[in-house]
Structure 1
Amino acid sequence: MTVLYTAQWVLPVATPPVQDGAVAVADGRIVAVGPEAEVRARLARLGTLETVALGRAALCPGFVNVHSHLELTALRGRLEDLSFFDWIRTLTRLRGEQMAVADLEVSAQWGVVEAARAGITTLADTETSGAGFRALCQGGLRGIAYQEVFGPDPMQAKKSLTGLKRRLEALRPAETNLVRLGISPHAVYSVSSLLFRLVIEYAERQALPVAIHCAESQAEDDFLRSGQGPFAQFLRERGIAWTPPRVSTIRYLSDLNVLRVKPLLIHAVRATEEDIGLLTFHGASVAHCPKSNAKFGHGIAPVSRMRQRGVRVGLGTDSVASNNVCDLLDEGRFAQLLSRATQGDGQLLPAAALLQWMTLDGACALGLDDRIGTLEVGKEADLVGISLASPHLEPVYDPVAALVTAATGRDVVLTVVRGRVIYDGQRVLTLDEEPLRERLRELARRLGTVHGT
């Protein structure tokens, strides 16, 4: 069956916008893109086409979110106005002590509902429980589920690796063409140098992608450069020896030969010019999460310089426990305005470049650009339809500019992944929203009664 999706505007990203356009999909792939009349004429031999007419809307590639934490969705609004160290410590306690496996499953599934409703078709999710992996599979989205590993004590490195292997071996039989697994040695302050080496060697043997939280905060910088600050104090209180290398996070990872696997480095707020050179040399990618970084007061990653020097940079929302929404349109607009305000350049990231950042550039950062990120014949059919009929979007002079400057995830009316409709503008078709909503509210009631923040 060939399905024809029509809209006032089709925004292929790889080519200019098409007015009164259409995208034809068969067997999960795009078979035609162009003006509706031309596409219909080209496919006339197929007889009657099933048509999904979006009307006054824009149809573009699905949004690619290169950093999320689906299992933390239930903690949205629960950890406000804390220092970064206290936020991490409280989050870890709530997740570990107050959220059972079933709670994490509900939390992750609700995160998938939110993402699908916002037109996000691909997520690079980081987690400890496997709940995000299962939610992506159940919800029909595309993604990489990076399984986190922790262990600042080198004496426990082999034990930590064994636990990671056990979790991955249990999940790998459930991998699909859409959802695969990865590994995430959490961060330099929570993973010993020995564990980094063991994990990277394992990732290479198993051909698993790697993601690392990196160069995120002043506290992390202090930990590495001077051996001071809350992370260093945390290790000292547990009797874990730490000798600071007195270099940046990215230099430290390079010296450990971690960058050889071309990891996705999450945040990279404090990257220096030397660091950017290392990213370029090794071919590492970066997940830029501007709203989360701003909320914690961490600063702004030098993404303009990264992009100028050829680093692959995608946009991520981070968890809704720190953002507080999973909306890549909102994230992209914030990134654009932040860059323009801080660099004094009102022409940075024009509309077309910003839409590409939300789609193709994210796919490139995850190594998926041969499959998704643009509306082109032969690519897999990950599509999103956005209404242009709401008052805040009228009038429309330039559909790309209207989309990236005024639309939000709430304007999405269609989400399709590999030709399958996930969200039809009314409800997510792959998960039962109302029972999930009730279970999430019950979980929130319990989490809200836990004292000690």
Structure 2
Amino acid sequence: MTILYTAQWVIPVAGVPIQDGAVAVQDGKILTLGPESEVRARLARFGNLETVALGNAAICPGFVNVHAHLELTALRGRLEDLSFFDWIRTLTDLRGAWMQAEDLELSAQWGVVEAIRAGITTLADTETSGAGFRALCAGGLRGIAYQEVFGPDPMQAKKSLAGLKRRIEAQRPAETDLVRLGVSPHAVYSVSALLFRLVIEYAERQGLPVAIHCAESQAEDDFLRTGQGPFAEFLRSRGIGWTPPRVSAIRYLSDLNVLRVKPLLIHAVRATEEDIGLLTFHGARVAHCPKSNAKFGHGIAPVSRMRQRGVRVGLGTDSVASNNVCDLLDEGRFAQLLSRATQGDGQMLPAAALLQWMTLDGACVLGLDDQIGTLEVGKDADLVGISLVGPHLEPVYDPVATVTTAATGRDVVLTVVKGRVVYDGKRVLTLDEEQLRDRLRALAGRLHPSLASIR
């Protein structure tokens, strides 16, 4: 079956927008695209042709979210106005004491529903339970599920690695052509130097991609440079010794030879010029999560300098427990405005570059740019339809500018992953939204009174 998607605009990212355009999809691949009249002429020999007409809308590549925490979706709005350290501690206590395995599964699936409705077709998740991996598979999304490992005590490093191996080996047979596994030694304040080395060696042997929270906060910087602050005090309270290396987080990872695997470094807010040079030299990649960074008061990552120096940077929403929405259009617009404000350049990241950041650049960061990120013949048919109808969208002079400056995830009317429609503009087709919503509300009712006792 060949399916023809038509719209007022087709935005390939790899080329100029096509007015009254069409994208033909066959066997999960893009067969052809162009002006609708021309595409139909090319497909005249196909007798069995189904048309999905979106009308006054734009079709563009699916959005690529390079960092999220699906299993935390149920905690949206429940961890507000806390310091970063207190947020982490409260989150850990709340999840450990009040959320069972089925709650994490529910939370992750609801996160996938939100992502699908926002036109996100590829999502890199960071998790501890495996719920995110299963939710990505069940929801029909493309992605990487990075399995987190913790262990600041070097005496426990081998035990922590063994636990990670068990989780990976249990899930590996369920990997698909869309969803694969990775590993994530959490952060420099929660993973010992020995555990970093062991996990990186394991990742290399198994061919697993690596993601690390890095250079995120002042507290992390104090931990590394002076051995002071809440993270250092927490380790001391547990009897774990810590001698600060007195360098930045990125330099510390470089000195441990962690950067040799070209990890995805999440946040990198406090990256210095020297750090950016290390990222460039090693080919490490960065997940930029501007809204989460801003919410915690961490600052603004120097992504303009990173991009200028050739570092591959993708956009991530982080968890909705810290953002509070999974909407890459909203995230990209916020990133653009921050960059313009801090650089004093109102022409920085024009519309076409911003849309590329949300699509192709994210695909490059995850090593998927040969499959997705643009609408091109032969690539997988990951695409999204965005309505251009509404008082906040009209008039439309430039469809790319309208999408990037005015549209949000709520304007998405179609989400397709490798040719499979997962959202038809009315409902998600791969998961039972109504059942999930009812269960989520019941879970929230249980979590709400518990929060007061923890805080």
Q: Pick the TM interval, shorter chain.
A: over 0.9
Once residues 93 and 169 of structure 2 are traced to their aligned partners in structure 1, the CA distance between those partners, rounded to angstroms, is 26
The SS at the match of 2:405 is: helix
Q: 1:157-183 CA deviation, whole Å, 9 max, x = no partner?
A: 000000000011110010000000000
Alignment RMSD: 0.5
1:138 shift after superposition: 0.2
2:31 is matched with: 31
Which amino acid is the alignment partner of residue 414 of structure 2? L
Q: Which amino acid aligns with 1:290?
A: P
- Inter-partner Cα distance in structure 1 for 2:210 and 2:264: 6
Q: CA deviation at 1:96?
A: 1.3
Query: 1:422 corresponds to which residue?
Result: 422
Letter in 2 for 1:400: V
Contact 2:93 2:454 in 1 (8 A): no
1:99 CA displacement: 0.5
Q: 1:318 aligns to what?
A: 318
Shift of 1:47: 1.9
Q: TM-score, normalised by structure 1?
A: 1.00
- 1:10 maps to a residue whose letter is V
Q: 2:43 & 2:226 partners in 1: Cα distance?
A: 66
Residues in 2 aligned to 1:180 and 1:288: alpha-carbon distance in whole angstroms? 21
> In structure 2, what is the Cα distance between the partners aligned to 1:383 and 1:201?
36
**Partner residue of 1:282?**
282
Q: Which residue of structure 1 aligns with residue 160 of structure 2?
A: 160
2:454 alignment counterpart: 452
Mapping for residues 1-150 of structure 1, pairs under 5 Å? 1-150=1-150
Q: Which residue of structure 2 lines up, in the alignment, with residue 348 of structure 1?
A: 348
Which residue identity is paired with 1:257? N
Task: Report the counterpart of residue 254 of structure 1 in structure 2.
Answer: 254
How far apart, CA to CA, are the structure 1 residues paired with 2:15 and 2:167? 43
Q: Secondary structure at the match of 1:45?
A: coil
CA distance in 2, matches of 1:147, 1:177: 18
In 1, are the aligned partners of 2:2 and 2:48 still within 8 Å (CA)? no
Q: Report the residue type matching 2:143 in the other structure.
A: G
Query: How much has 1:452 moved relative to structure 2?
Result: 2.3
Specify the alignment match of 2:242 in structure 1: 242
**Shift of residue 342, structure 1, vs aligned partner:** 1.3
DSSP 3-state at the match of 1:356: helix
Q: Give the equivalent residue in structure 1 for 2:403.
A: 403
Partners of 2:39 and 2:281 in 1: CA distance: 43
* Alpha-carbon separation, structure 2, partners of 1:16 and 1:369: 19
2:45 alignment partner, SS class: helix
Q: Report the residue type matching 2:183 in the other structure.
A: I
**Runs (4+) off by over 4 Å:** none
Aligned length: 453
Structure-1 residue corresponding to 2:292: 292
- Matches of 2:346 and 2:239, distance apart in 1: 51
Deviation at 1:225, TM superposition (A): 0.3
Whether 2:335 is the aligned partner of 1:335: answer: yes
- Secondary structure of 1:394's counterpart equals coil
Q: Which amino acid aligns with 1:417?
A: V
Structure 2 unaligned blocks of 5 or more = none
Aligned to 1:433: 433
Tell me if 1:365 matches 2:375: no
* TM-score where L is the length of structure 2: 0.99
Deviation at 1:245, TM superposition (A): 0.3
Query: Can you list the C-alpha shifts for 1:286-319, whole angstroms capped at 9, x where unaligned?
Result: 0000000000000000000000000000000000
Q: CA deviation at 1:190?
A: 0.1
The residue number in structure 2 matching 1:177 is 177
- Cα distance in 1, alignment partners of residues 87 and 225 from structure 2: 22
Q: Counterparts of 1:379 and 1:198 in 2: how far apart (Å)?
A: 36
Q: Which amino acid aligns with 1:309?
A: R
- Which AA in structure 1 matches 2:99? M
Amino acid at match of 1:354: L
Give, in whole Å, the separation in 2 of the partners of 1:391 and 1:301: 33
Q: Distance in 2 between the 1:110 and 1:390 partners?
A: 27
Return the alpha-carbon distance in structure 2 between the equivalents of residues 342 and 203 of structure 1: 37
Letter in 2 for 1:452: I
**Structure-2 separation of matches of 1:421 and 1:184:** 31
Give the distance between the partners of 1:329 and 1:154, measured in 2 at CA.
41
2:442 corresponds to: 442
Quote the residue 1:233 is aligned against: 233
Q: Aligned-pair distance for 1:48?
A: 4.1
Question: Percent sequence identity over matched residues?
Answer: 87
Q: Residue 390 of structure 1 aligns with which residue?
A: 390
